[in-house]
Amino acid sequence: MTLSVTAPSRATHQMADAWRRQISLRRLYTVLGVGLLLAAMFASMWFADEANAGHFFDRLPHILDFLSWLIPKDWNDVWRALFDIASPHDTGTQEFNFPLGRVYVWGGFYIPEYFELMLTTVNVALVSTFIGFIFAVPFSFIAARNLTPHPVLRLVVKRFMELLRAFPEIVIAGLFAAIVSTGPIAAIIAIGLHSIGALGKLFYEINENIDMRAEEGLRAVGANWFERVRFADLPQVLPNFMSYTLLRVEINVRASTIIGAVGGGGIGEELKLSISRGFGAKTLALVLLLFTTIFIIDQFSAWLRRKLVGEQAFLMGA
């Protein structure tokens, strides 16, 4: 066998050059892009630091000071604060008035204040998710390209949901706080309206990807729009709807905590007060309770979602 070596032709050379040029151009773009991003990042850091009340490098050595108030003198106070048990350190100040907030249910049996507040926050999240679900399901069928009863109606509903999604929640909460008095109802309305938009978007995107054969079958036997949606489309998408709704519950628990902090009642308000006044034991008790609740809800909803739709519920983005 002879080895034939032919010199690379000019065309090959040209191709190789073009390839190299392209690679170096791409590298240049990458470097430029990363450089731009870094520049934007450092500019942002400077801007954020400049606009802040305390500056980063001034405050950095004092980070641990801020932790010092958080660590209670008596660790048992955390439990006492959590379960509303009288503390021996009680001197009549707000810092240790643990038994004051007890919510008596039956005789001497009480729900500790923080558990009651946590319950409020969770209930706000659940009710508002329910509101979101109830409205988002019909909206999503109207807004889906393949199922819509009328294209104009579809556009209107889509824009409406976009508006609900983008509208800042605190504005709705603030508006309704002035109407139905501050408290959980305003928070429910705010988070509920937002959930309609958020769930509606996810739902109609699911609807646009369904298998249309069932729908065509029902259309062939003369079913009307409601019958088609109910018997052909809903059964296909319901597990996915449920999965996204559960995800929304997780998000809404967080949202209702935050809305709570700006006047929506619940645990957020108490947490904000406690941190701003520097009540170590109370803050730790609240953080512990909130953290545990969110963790449990997240894990439970993840488990339920896995049962409903399998692993695909966990691939977001892309």
Partner 1 sequence: MATMTAGEIRSIEERYPQVFRRPLYKRFAPLFLFVGILLYLVYALWFFSLPQVLRESHWERLPLFLMQWVSYDLQPEFRLDQPEITPKYPRFSALGENPNPDWVIKNADGTFSVLIDGPGKSVTFDKSKATIVANGETVPVLLTGGKPVISGPVPDWITAHDDEVVAKMGFAGEVRVTVDRVKVRKRFLGWANFVFDTRSPFFGRSASEVVSLIVSGPELKPGTSNLALAGDNIWNNAQWQHGDVWTKLLQTIVMAFLGTLLGGIVAFPLAFFAARNITPNGLLSQVLKRFFDFMRSVDMLIWALFFTRAFGPGPLAGSAAIFFTEIGTLGKTYSESLENIDDKPREGIKSTGANGLLVQRYGVMPEVIPVFISQTLYQWESNTRGATIIGAVGAGGIGLKLWEAMRTNSNWANVFYMVLLTLAVVFIFDNISNFLRRRLSRTIHDYNRIQAEQG
Residues that bind partner 1 (CB under 8 A): 37, 40-41, 44-45, 47-49, 51-56, 59, 62-63, 66, 119-120, 123, 126-127, 130, 163, 166-171, 174-175, 177-181, 183-185, 188, 254-255, 257-259, 261-262, 268, 271-272, 275-276, 278, 287, 290-291, 294-295, 298, 314-318
Nearest to partner 1 of 161, 261 (CB atom): 261
- Nearest distance in Å: CB 84, partner 1: 19
Nearest to partner 1 of 89, 272 (CB atom): 272
- Nearest distance in Å: CB 313, partner 1: 11
- Based on C-alpha coordinates, what's the Rg of the chain? 28
Cα gap 74→87, rounded to integer Å = 10
The per-residue b/e assignment along 171-181, b for 16 or more CB within 10 angstroms, e otherwise, is ebbbebbeeee
- Nearest distance in Å: CB 5, partner 1: 26
Nearest to partner 1 of 7, 51 (CB atom): 51
- Nearest distance in Å: CB 171, partner 1: 5
Cα gap 85→169, rounded to integer Å = 36
- Nearest distance in Å: CB 213, partner 1: 20
- Nearest distance in Å: CB 21, partner 1: 21
10 Å CB burial of residue 254 (0-12, 13-18, 19+) is middle
Q: Other C-beta atoms within 10 Å of 17: how many?
A: 10
Nearest to partner 1 of 7, 315 (CB atom): 315
Cα gap 85→286, rounded to integer Å = 15
Nearest to partner 1 of 130, 160 (CB atom): 130
Contact 101, 111 (CB under 8 A): no
Cα gap 35→33, rounded to integer Å = 5
Nearest to partner 1 of 133, 203 (CB atom): 133
- Nearest distance in Å: CB 6, partner 1: 27
Q: Give the CA angle between residues 95, 297, 317 to the nearest 5°.
A: 120
Pairing of strands 103-106, 109-111: antiparallel
Nearest to partner 1 of 59, 230 (CB atom): 59
